[in-house]
């Protein structure tokens, strides 16, 4: 059995800490039994803690500022910083799997001797970040678009990339957004576990902490709920897959990301063009209809490369299910279909409908879909409507 993932938290508020922990579980695809949660905001890191007892370490955010003058820091902040100096010495010595987000990024950067200041602070919000050329080859980012959205908000940051570290992501306002040390030690200035719900809670909790003017809270809450950050969240999932499940450096299984069309478009278009337009002869006019914008989309990755896609409309219709030819009969279609059924259940949908190409009828029947009506042509290809009642 794998050793648990150690999740270290520094937030003093129960509601923000609990929400952060649940978000790490959700987007890291972890259960509580697969983790050990350690809140250190009151007593610091225990002296007896040994990294040998864990498969990886994830460090969350904090209202503490490393750049605060030492004579203005509380006793517990001094202890926490000293405890991290001890812990990070072991992490670096053994190149132990580590992911520090926001404050975890600052703590690691500070340990490595990088100046931490308010020079590159950023307002709370959802921003577009660029993946560097080195980042495009990193196992946690491979196959991603060249720019992704992420949620952030911080008063301080690394002034420059730590010595011997590799810059993986950068931003217009803050240049050091993600870096890697050695092979297994990562830090992000943004929050990979962040979502609209969690950031709304933090905005309310920290509106008097100097991140923004209190009267901006309502506007900021609306802004962080306006977009999605599936790729940033998937960084967390890949980290857990890589180190908790002890996957080989270059070997990932099937990964699924659910996203809206603005994020899915370049990936889905690549797969659907190859499968439907080039392989099956569907016209571009028929393929690119008016339903993509409002639908939720799944992108399937294999070895971090997009190999499959499908969509689910608000009316419960599954469509545009496509898997690249060389990746068929490897479980990609099954994984996507099961995910879509799960999404429909979460949305309280009672029934799913799809138009199956007749040669794929048996595949959908294996998952409980029932054929109804007669065969018909769609884009010149024989289809049959199929239905699944959701209990």
Residue 283 lies inside a defined structural domain of this protein: yes
Per-residue pLDDT reduced to its tens digit, 198-219: 999 999 999 988 888 999 999 9
Last residue of a domain, one of 243, 275, 295: 243
Q: What is the CATH number of the domain that holds 315?
A: 3.40.630.30
**Judgement on whether residues 212 and 258 belong to the same structural domain of the protein:** no
Task: Pick the closest to residue 188 from 224, 230, 223, 157 (CA basis).
Answer: 157
The pLDDT score that the predictor gives to residue 249 is: 30
Q: Kindly report the pTM of this predicted structure.
A: 0.68
Residue 317 lies inside a defined structural domain of this protein: yes
Per-residue pLDDT reduced to its tens digit, 315-332: 999 999 999 998 887 778
Last residue of a domain, one of 212, 243, 274: 243
The tally of domains found in the chain comes to 2
Could you give the percent of the chain with pLDDT greater than 70?
A: 97
- Has residue 2 got a pLDDT over 80? no
Residue 226 lies inside a defined structural domain of this protein: yes
**Judgement on whether residues 79 and 182 belong to the same structural domain of the protein:** yes
- Domain range enclosing 384: 254-389
E-only strand ranges, the chain: 5-9, 35-39, 56-59, 98-101, 116-117, 122-131, 147-154, 157-158, 165-170, 178-181, 185-188, 254-259, 296-302, 305-312, 317-323, 351-357, 370-378, 381-389
Per-residue pLDDT reduced to its tens digit, 219-252: 999 999 998 999 999 999 999 988 885 433 333 4
**Judgement on whether residues 46 and 69 belong to the same structural domain of the protein:** yes
- For residue 9, CA distances in Å to 20, 34, 42, 43, 58 come to 8, 16, 11, 12, 9
**Judgement on whether residues 214 and 343 belong to the same structural domain of the protein:** no
The pLDDT score that the predictor gives to residue 245 is: 57
Per-residue pLDDT reduced to its tens digit, 106-135: 999 999 999 999 999 999 999 999 999 999
**Judgement on whether residues 167 and 288 belong to the same structural domain of the protein:** no
**Judgement on whether residues 55 and 191 belong to the same structural domain of the protein:** yes
Q: What is the CATH number of the domain that holds 40?
A: 3.40.50.880
Could you give the percent of the chain with pLDDT greater than 90?
A: 78
**Judgement on whether residues 206 and 269 belong to the same structural domain of the protein:** no
Last residue of a domain, one of 196, 223, 243: 243
**Judgement on whether residues 335 and 197 belong to the same structural domain of the protein:** no
Cβ atoms within 10 Å of 385's Cβ, excluding its own:
17
Residue 249 lies inside a defined structural domain of this protein: no
Q: Using CA atoms, how far apart are residues 203 and 217, in angstroms rounded to an integer?
A: 6
Residue 248 lies inside a defined structural domain of this protein: no
**Judgement on whether residues 234 and 260 belong to the same structural domain of the protein:** no
Residue 294 lies inside a defined structural domain of this protein: yes
Residue 92 lies inside a defined structural domain of this protein: yes
Residue 30 lies inside a defined structural domain of this protein: yes
**Judgement on whether residues 136 and 222 belong to the same structural domain of the protein:** yes
Task: Pick the closest to residue 306 from 292, 329, 326, 291 (CA basis).
Answer: 326
> What DSSP line would sit under 298-310, residue for residue?
EEEEETTEEEEEE
**Judgement on whether residues 16 and 97 belong to the same structural domain of the protein:** yes
**Judgement on whether residues 228 and 359 belong to the same structural domain of the protein:** no
């Amino acid at each position: 059995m794998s050793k648990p993932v150690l999740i270290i938290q520094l937030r003093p508020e129960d509601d923000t800490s609990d929400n952060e922990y649940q978000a790490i579980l959700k987007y890291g695809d972890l259960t509580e039994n697969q983790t050990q949660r350690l809140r250190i905001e009151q007593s610091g890191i225990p002296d007896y803690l040994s990294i040998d007892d864990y498969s990886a370490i994830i460090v969350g955010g904090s209202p503490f500022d490393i750049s605060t003058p030492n004579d203005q820091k509380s006793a517990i902040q001094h202890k926490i910083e000293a405890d991290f100096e001890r812990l990070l010495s072991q992490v670096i010595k053994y190149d132990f799997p580590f992911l520090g987000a926001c404050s975890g990024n600052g703590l690691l950067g500070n340990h490595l001797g990088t100046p931490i200041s308010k020079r590159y602070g950023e307002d709370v919000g959802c921003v577009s970040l660029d993946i560097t050329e080195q980042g495009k080859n990193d196992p946690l980012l491979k196959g991603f678009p060249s720019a992704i959205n992420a949620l952030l908000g911080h008063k301080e940051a690394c002034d420059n990339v730590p010595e011997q570290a590799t810059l993986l992501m950068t931003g217009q306002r803050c240049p050091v957004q993600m870096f890697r040390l050695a092979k297994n030690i990562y830090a992000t200035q943004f929050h990979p576990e962040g979502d609209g719900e969690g950031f709304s809670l933090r905005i309310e909790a920290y509106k008097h902490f100097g991140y923004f003017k209190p009267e901006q809270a309502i506007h900021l809450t609306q802004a962080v709920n306006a977009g999605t950050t599936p790729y940033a969240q998937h960084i967390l999932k890949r980290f857990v897959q890589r180190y908790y499940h002890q996957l080989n450096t270059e070997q990932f299984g099937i990964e699924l990301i659910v996203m809206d069309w603005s994020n899915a478009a370049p990936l889905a278009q690549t797969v659907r063009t190859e499968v439907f337009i080039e392989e099956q002869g569907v016209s571009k006019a028929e393929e690119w209809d008016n339903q993509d914008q409002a639908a939720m989309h799944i992108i399937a990755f294999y070895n971090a490369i997009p190999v499959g896609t499908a969509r689910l409309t608000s009316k419960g219709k599954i469509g545009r299910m496509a898997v690249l030819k060389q990746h068929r009969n490897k479980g990609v279609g099954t994984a996507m279909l099961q995910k879509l059924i799960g999404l429909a259940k979460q949305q309280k949908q009672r029934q799913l409908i799809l138009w199956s190409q007749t040669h794929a009828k048996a595949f959908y029947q294996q998952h409980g879909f029932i054929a109804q009506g007669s065969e018909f042509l769609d884009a010149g290809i024989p289809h049959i409507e199929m239905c699944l009642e959701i209990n």
